[in-house]
Amino acid sequence: MGFLMFKILKASFAAGIVTTDYPDRPMDPCLNYRGRPMIDFQKAEDCMPAAQVCPTAALTVQDKLDTREVVLDYGRCIFCGLCAEASPDGAIRMTSESELAVRDRSHLVSTAYYRLDETGKQQFLKMASANQSAPESEEIVKRELKGKIHRILGRSLQIREVDAGSCNGCEVEITGLNSPVYDAERLGIRFVASPRHADMLLVTGPVTRNMESPLRKAYQATPEPRLVVAVGACGCTGGIFGCNYSSLGGVDQVIPVDVYIPGCPPPPQALLHGILLAVGRLGEKLRH
């Protein structure tokens, strides 16, 4: 037993420090990691083949007379790569980008408009923003609330994870936050067993009808100022499950959501990005 312990200690000392410096420094993605798809909207000549193979309708095409509307919704995207494979002009490519967390659901949506020529090819017209500017009074309230949350939760955060019906893919990545590599506790982030002890609910999965009531109760039991982070494509929009006889869809169909973390599943650095975004700890170091 003593010899085995010596071997373990020797291997540990040889490995050195494995904990990442994230978020002080960006993390390099692992080899062959698949992040979000990117569309060169101006280069795209025909998005229809890619939209037809999308399993979650994250990419949709709607034609009206000689005009085409193309919508890409990262909240629905599962990063499967089928759209890139089906893109006839190479305008869609897969990237290694995964830090896509946003406070506003509409920020995950991009819309482009085209004119269709006589052969059916797209001629780029414009991009349309899905974001509407909030009234000045609403912006002031948001800034004040953000400042309050940062003052109270900026250095310490207790999280209650709620599985509202996930396949457990997101749970595997959440477990990685407590590994030696990510070591979330170095940032003051801890997972707790009860929502009564939590500052944040980290919710995964499309909300099943059987989990609707428990999720509402967990939200009501969490003391204010409470935060809710929706994890993964399922948490953001219902993902591949959508809305059906047993699923209500995204978390915001049941309780208010402060931050959305897309992905299927989002890796630990994407989860950290979203959690720190929620409590205002990212500053200008990383892209929002």
User: How many CB atoms are located within 10 Å of the residue 183 CB?
Assistant: 14
pLDDT digits (tens, 9 = 90+) for 103-158: 999 999 999 999 998 888 899 999 986 554 445 555 555 555 556 555 666 668 99
Instruction: Pick 10 or 112 by higher pLDDT.
Output: 112
pLDDT digits (tens, 9 = 90+) for 238-260: 999 989 999 999 999 999 999 99
Cα–Cα distance between 184 and 26 in angstroms, integer?
15
**Of 25-39, 64-78, 182-196, minimum mean pLDDT range:** 25-39
The dotted CATH code for 37-128 is 3.30.70.3270
- pLDDT at residue 278 is higher than 60: yes
User: What is the CATH architecture assignment of 136-278?
Assistant: 3-Layer(aba) Sandwich (3.40)
**In terms of residues, how long is the chain?**
288
Cα–Cα distance between 186 and 143 in angstroms, integer?
27
pLDDT band at residue 10, thresholds of 50, 70 and 90? confident
- Identical fold between 37-128 and 136-278: no
Average pLDDT rounded to a whole number, residues 201-229 = 96
- Give pTM, 2 decimals: 0.86
Structural domain boundaries in the chain: 37-128, 136-278
Average pLDDT rounded to a whole number, residues 268-283 = 83
pLDDT band at residue 169, thresholds of 50, 70 and 90? very high
Q: Which of 22, 16, 20 is nearest to 282 (CA)?
A: 22
Q: Which of 185, 208, 204 is nearest to 257 (CA)?
A: 204
pLDDT band at residue 285, thresholds of 50, 70 and 90? very low
pLDDT value at position 4? Answer: 79
Average pLDDT rounded to a whole number, residues 190-210 = 96
Average pLDDT, the chain: 87
